[in-house]
Structure formats: C-alpha cells, structure tokens
Amino acid sequence: MKCTLGSQGRRLFWSIYGRYAWDEQQDPTRIYPPPAQIVTILAGRRIRHGARVLDAGCGTGNYARALAQAGYAVVAMDFAPGMLVKAQAKSAGPTARFALLAADLNAGITFPDGYFDHVMSISVLQTLVDPLAVLHEFRRVLKPGGTLILSLPKRNAAVLTQPLTQVIRGRVDQLQRRTPGKILLVVVKALADRYHRGARWTVADATAMLQAANFVPRSIEEGPQILAVALRSQE
C-alpha cells in the first residue's frame, strides 16, 4: 500500500507513533538491529571516538544515545516533534548527550559537504518520497571513505507482513489499565503496519540502490530487516 499522507499528516502520524508506540514496539516486534550492534559495526570500522555521526531519522533517540555513550559526537535528526520529545529525554547526563535537529530528510540535509564521518538511518528510507535522492544527500555529507549503515524493511518478511494487532495480542488489557490514552497504541500500530507495506527491498535491490548512489557496499545481511554497511566512494 502506498502511503498518501501529506507532509503535515506524516509529521502528525510519526509524532503520535513516537510518543505512544515506538519504544513499546521494540521488544515485541524485534525487527530493528539493537543499538549495541550499530556501535559494534562502528568499532569494527575503527572510527575514532569523537567522530561525527548523523542519525538520520533518529526516532526516539535509542541509537543516538548508544552512540553518544560510546564516545561519538552525534547529531540526531527527525521531523516528528513527538519523536524528538522522547529523544530529548534520552539526551540527558554527561555520557549520553547528543544534538537534536528538527528537519525533514525529504527537504535535504543542511550540513556542508563531507561534514560527517558516519551516517546511519534505521528503517527510514521506506517512509521517504525519493529514497535514492536522500542516499545522494547522505553521500554528500559524508567524508570520502565514510561509513553508511542502513536498516531496510525486507520484502516478504513475515514479521513485517503479519498485522501488528497480532503482535500486540494480549497487551490491549494491559494498555487500558495503564491509561486510556494508551489505547492509541493499538490504532497507531495498525496504521504503521499498513504504512510500512509500501517500500521494501531484497538484498539485490539494496545493493543496486547503494551502487546507484555511488556507495560501495561492504556487507548486506538479512535478518528481520536488511542491514547494509557501505562506504562513500572516493570519487
């Protein structure tokens, strides 16, 4: 299903999703790479501590917090106020501090060429108007040889195609006991399930898309999602 929400509708959708559903979705669905895995990938790339990292589409800040705690200088970017409110709360304390930026990836990235050592974007490209154009922007703001990590929804993945209402079966009563407003979680999750059915990739699709944006794929792994690591070409 192709999402037809306008810009304001998308912002509202993701704000509600971020405030009421995102963090609660992580454990039951288990579709996103854990933050520690992203930190490990960077450590394997020998990217120095203090290196600049862009978390493009940061959501509620789980990855930004982990990277900041690992010693990276993180800019966490999202366009949904509800997501950023949650992320702000996680950017507390001397070891977890990261910069927050309210911005829409569809409108481009405001940083200069070659500003970041690393860019990561977890389960974001499928929500964008033109994923390839955004990949070109990622390449532009990366230093030559810089690292890109992408997590992409996988075509024919059962964990994504099953209705999210099945994933949260047995939790509705719990949500109602906590606060009536939390019942929004059920609705938002169902909408999110339909929203995410629009764009999905195979390993071949992901490889071709990265190459089209002049990235050099280094590893593409299949799990609940496709996890791709690529380098910015020197050209």
- What is the pLDDT, as a whole number, of residue 109? 96
Give the Cβ contact number of residue 27 at 10 Å. 7
- What is the pLDDT, as a whole number, of residue 126? 87
- What is the pLDDT, as a whole number, of residue 18? 53
Bridge-partner residues for 74, per DSSP?
53
Q: Could you tell me how far CA 26 lies from the centroid of its own chain?
A: 12
Torsion of CA 158, 183, 82, 84, to 10 degrees: -60
Compute the distance between CA of residue 52 and CA of residue 185 in angstroms, rounded to an integer: 34
Q: What is the pTM of this model?
A: 0.77
Compute the distance between CA of residue 145 and CA of residue 117 in angstroms, rounded to an integer: 8
Residue 166 identity (one-letter amino acid): Q
- What is the pLDDT, as a whole number, of residue 199? 64
Sorted by where each starts, the structural domains of the chain and their CATH numbers stand as 30-158+199-232 (3.40.50.150)
- What is the pLDDT, as a whole number, of residue 2? 41
CA distances from 119 to 47, 200, 219, 224, 229 (A): 12, 20, 15, 21, 10
Residues 6+ apart with CB under 8 A from 220: 203, 206, 207, 226, 227, 228, 229
- Can you read off the two tokens belonging to residue 112? 């200069």
Going by DSSP bridges, is the β-strand pair 116-122/215-222 parallel, antiparallel, or unpaired?
unpaired
- What is the pLDDT, as a whole number, of residue 166? 46
Which parts of the chain register pLDDT below 70? 1-30, 47, 156-199, 235
